Amino acid sequence: NNTMCFALKGMVLRVENGKALVDFGGVRKKVNSEFLDVEEGDRVLVFNGIIIERV
Is 45 a domain residue? no
The number of domains in the chain is 1
pLDDT in tens, 1-55: 677 778 999 999 999 999 999 999 999 999 999 999 999 999 999 999 999 999 9
Is 13 a domain residue? yes
Is 26 a domain residue? yes
What is the model's pLDDT at position 3? Answer: 76
Is 43 a domain residue? no
Over the range 21-33, which residues count as b (16 or more CB within 10 Å of their CB) and which as e? Answer: bbeeeeeeeebeb
pTM reported for the whole predicted model? 0.89
Is 18 a domain residue? yes
Is 20 a domain residue? yes
Which residues form the domain of 23?
Answer: 7-32
Virtual torsion, Cα 33, 29, 25, 54, nearest 10 deg? 10
Give phi and psi for 34, each to the nearest 5: -70, -25
